[in-house]
Chains A and B, each alone.
Chain A
């Protein structure tokens, strides 16, 4: 059974703190993604990675960075958390290649509140 796990379901941090969100997948997928989801805005892509140590900016990368040191793990880093980063964060993974179906498998999400 495919599985994407995220380190925390709920997280509360203070403004200015450094925040790490971890995502692990056990499907040997090449692609991994970080999204944030806000009411009325849907899912927005923050960063994605198509290989170890590779990363690409998504639509809203400002205020975030990522790390992919191992194939199965993709971390999202908020260097200095701000209140406008309060959101639901979703990690996803997918296969890469000509035969891929583009299906992204999502983790359960981390609801981050920045006070």
Chain B
């Protein structure tokens, strides 16, 4: 069964500090991995996407890494800001035919940035 596990479930850090969120997956056959950011009361918004051949992707202060051999990904946030407080969801896509997107969602990491 395809699964995506995220850790930690929740994290509190001080403004300005760095943090790293983890995602382990067992999705096959692998197509791509995406990190979404979901602000409270809003829908998720895509931050980064990585395919099998990519092992790092940056979007401003967000840097995602992918190790396809160990099936692990991380999202590193540098110099955190109060606006980074949100849930971060790891989503892995399997190669499927037909119309389905073949997505498996992690349960998310709830990040709180304190001033």
- A4 interfacial contact with B, CB 8 Å: yes
Main secondary structure of the interface of B (DSSP, over half): loop
B112 to chain A, nearest CB (A): 15
A50 touches B100 (CB 8 A): yes
B36 to chain A, nearest CB (A): 8
A90 to B42, CA, bound (A): 9
Q: Which residues of A contact B105 (CB under 8 A)?
A: 42-44
- A74 interfacial contact with B, CB 8 Å: no
Name B43's contact: one of A48, A101, A106 (CB within 8 Å): A106
Interface size on A, residues (CB 8 A): 29
Q: Which residue of A lies closest to B99 (CB)?
A: A50
B42 touches A108 (CB 8 A): yes
Name A30's contact: one of B32, B34, B99 (CB within 8 Å): B99
CB within 8 Å of A: which B34-67 residues:
34, 41-46, 49
Q: Which residue of B lies closest to A41 (CB)?
A: B107
A109 touches B41 (CB 8 A): yes
Q: Which residues of A contact B99 (CB under 8 A)?
A: 30-31, 48, 50-51, 54, 56, 96
